[in-house]
Amino acid sequence: MVYSADEIGARVRALGHSIAEAYRPEDSLLVLGLLKGSFIFLADLVREIDLPLQVDFLVAASYGSEKVSSGTVRLLYDPEAPLEGRAVVVVEDIIDSGKTLARLLPRLQERRPRSLEVCALLHKRLVAMEPRWVGFDAPGEFLVGYGLDYSENFRHLPYIASL
């Protein structure tokens, strides 16, 4: 086990409180979850943000059934919520190569949000756009659990483990 359910819970609470401190109720906060991997993290995180907010989703794919990114990011679903003038936080399960965010963030920025930040549960590598909030610096192993999968398996685990 890399991170226990208790460790994850404590860190998610801290992240939610930190995000809540960064915004005001009138900021029209929109939390965008990057599916599928972020869905458990996102659900736990938004319950810890003590502000009015809306939730929408993005779907991108780059892994398929492999343990390494294909390098090609396919966008399968764009959020329907308007971004213009809003405070937007993109929630990502893991930043590995950074290619997904490098493709998504400019596309979201074109919609003119007032601010655009990233909250990642796990962070593996340095990327051009560092997330504002990070749960854990992840080891260089392939991780599963708490939403992270290998070929659509293991997402349901309440902890994070190395495959």
Region for 3 from its dihedrals, namely left if φ exceeds 0, alpha if ψ lies in -120 to 50, beta otherwise: beta
By C-alpha distance, which of 43, 129, 50 is closest to 91?
Answer: 43
50 catalytic per annotation: no
Q: Of these residues, 44, 93, 96, 149, which one is catalytic?
A: 96
Residue 135 CA: distances (Å) to CA of 13, 91, 94: 10, 11, 10
Region for 2 from its dihedrals, namely left if φ exceeds 0, alpha if ψ lies in -120 to 50, beta otherwise: alpha
Rounded CA separation 1/14 (Å)? 21
Strands laid side by side in the 53-61 sheet: 74-77, 53-61, 29-35, 87-95, 115-123, 133-137
Catalytic positions, written as ranges: 96
